[in-house]
Amino acid sequence: MNFFHLEQHGITVKDIRRNVAPAKLYAEAIREDPNCVIADSGALIAYSGEKTGRSPKDKRVVKNPATENEIWWGPVNIPIDEHAFRINLERARDYLNLKKYLYCFDGFAGWDPENRARIRVICSRPYHALFMHIMLIRPTADELADFGEPHAVIYNAGEFPANRLTAGMTSKTSVDLCLESKDMVILGTEYAGEMKKGVFTLMNYFGPKRGILTMHCSATADPETGRSSLMFGLSGTGKTTLSADPKRQLIGDDEHCWSDTGVFNIEGGCYAKAIDLTPESEPEIFQALRYGAVLENVVYEKETHRVDFADTSITQNTRGAYPIDFIRNARIPCIAGHPTDVIFLTCDAFGVLPPVSRLSPAQAMYHFISGYTAKVAGTEMGVTEPQATFSPCFGGPFLVWHPMKYAELLADKIRRHGANVWLVNTGWSGGSYGVGKRLKLAMTRAMIDGIHSGALAQAPSQPDPVFGFDVITQCPGVPAEVLIPRNTWSDGAAYDATAHKLAQLFSNNFRQYEDKVSPEVREAGPKV
């Protein structure tokens, strides 16, 4: 029996299994958890039950006088009073205390020893313990011995529902965060990603208080200079694919901090989408999903345990979690110098944004706050044209402060460290979806290579008449006629009308932020 105790957290269970090795977690998952099996690749397959994705409508933040004026209240940060939070916390503790044994994982959020947070996870499923063993930074034996009291504690009682009669509850699921006590409570969902994003939300609050910009982005480094490059982008923009660059070292694929000394990854692992995964499409990710990794909610063949990544009968949100050092070109430790380049990826299904443009600091703030991409037309309810999607700072669901807080930090760091900012369109050219064609991946890679080599910083450009940014007109490996979007349309008037329409969508979306931003940032948007 492990005699590590958690009484200070209201946990009375005597058998606390702290920082259990993956091999033992595998054995206990197979023996004790009927929802876990081993894939033919050696990865642990686990199922999260009814919830196969995050539950953003059930996320709550305690409204406390000490912090309430700092929080961006609204649909992202829904308030809960402290009494209701205490009821949920007690409910989670009561459930966990019914167990014969519990798992505790102590790890770090942040690779920079000067700016990392000590995170403690208390849970009952070995799958959850293994997941956080992967996603947090694993302490050495000496670091674990000197771990001390954590900065934050996650109580994962996701197998037990919230009480619907508790004030502020809208379902049996509740994911609650108290910034004052730094406690997180999970009830009614066993989806492991809630823990990962809970840690990110905590970092998104405490980082900016210390002048550290927290970012929902991927990051790579030049192996010779050690300088980094950041890549922001919503789902479907190509962030994961373009970050897998054999010429560069991977710092991380999802969550980073930009401090006074450089960039560092928050996480110790990656949590990649697994839908339609093949060794040809994503070779690095495919080979990383082996022993020591977790495959979540995938379908497998019963005799061979071979995973069918194309089968989405459980969910389209199939996932794989693996330690970042499973990626061959990972930069360990995951720390690098200040960025030379900040890249905003957008998949513009309207087909009007240029393939690559350079942004001023004010334009960078505008487009960072906007966080634009577009989804292709669907068939639901007669939708026949692209749909614009805006997510502030390219990570709206995880922000705690108003988006302007993060945008100001970004602009300040860009100016102080001389980073170039780029908007790269990975979407359509020659017309909107259904008429034009999506830009070839080889062309986009050539543009990213031109950014990283410094070639595009010296390339000629011309201002876009609607959006105002500088459109790059020459790029090695890309035909010049592709770089000016209007020239690729057969009907110039149709291009002008569509560009005006997209500009109006930007303007309409930005109105919700105008009272918080400077006149310079407001004027950096498109001219409607």
Helix (H) or strand (E) holding 37: strand 36-38
| CA 104 – CA 106 distance, rounded (Å) | 7
Helix (H) or strand (E) holding 30: helix 22-32
CB atoms within 10 A of CB 258: 27
Q: How many CA atoms lie within 13 A of 248 on its CB side?
A: 26
Cβ contacts of residue 342 below 8 Å, gap of 6+?
Answer: 229, 230, 232, 364, 410, 414, 419, 420, 421, 422
CB–CB of 314/358 below 8 Å? no
Choice among 12, 170, 225, 235 that is catalytic: 235
E strands within 379-506?
387-390, 420-425, 428-429, 437-438, 461-463, 470-472
| CA 372 – CA 212 distance, rounded (Å) | 24
Choice among 93, 197, 358, 452 that is catalytic: 197
| CA 359 – CA 365 distance, rounded (Å) | 9
Torsional class of 382: left (φ above 0), alpha (ψ -120 to 50), beta (otherwise): left
> And the tokens for 479?
């035909």
* 54 flagged as catalytic: yes
CA distances from 464 to 74, 229, 343, 471, 488 (A): 34, 25, 18, 6, 15
Choice among 9, 133, 319, 338 that is catalytic: 319
**Cα distance from N-terminal residue to C-terminal residue, the chain:** 68
> Would you give the distance in Å from CA 353 to the centre of its chain?
24
* 227 flagged as catalytic: no
* 319 flagged as catalytic: yes
> And the tokens for 319?
């996932």
Q: Give the strand pairing for 249-252 and 218-221.
A: antiparallel
CB–CB of 430/488 below 8 Å? yes
Angle between the 361-370 and 492-510 helix axes, to the nearest 10 degrees?
80
Choice among 54, 59, 133, 138 that is catalytic: 54
* 128 flagged as catalytic: no
CB atoms within 10 A of CB 90: 12
Choice among 183, 254, 341, 470 that is catalytic: 254
Residue 73 phi, psi dihedral angles, 5° rounding: -75, 145
Helix (H) or strand (E) holding 482: helix 480-483
CA distances from 10 to 153, 272, 359 (A): 12, 34, 51
Choice among 240, 346, 370, 429 that is catalytic: 240
> And the tokens for 170?
């809208």
* 318 flagged as catalytic: no
Choice among 216, 248, 256, 413 that is catalytic: 216
Residues noted as catalytic:
54, 197, 216, 235, 239-240, 254, 319
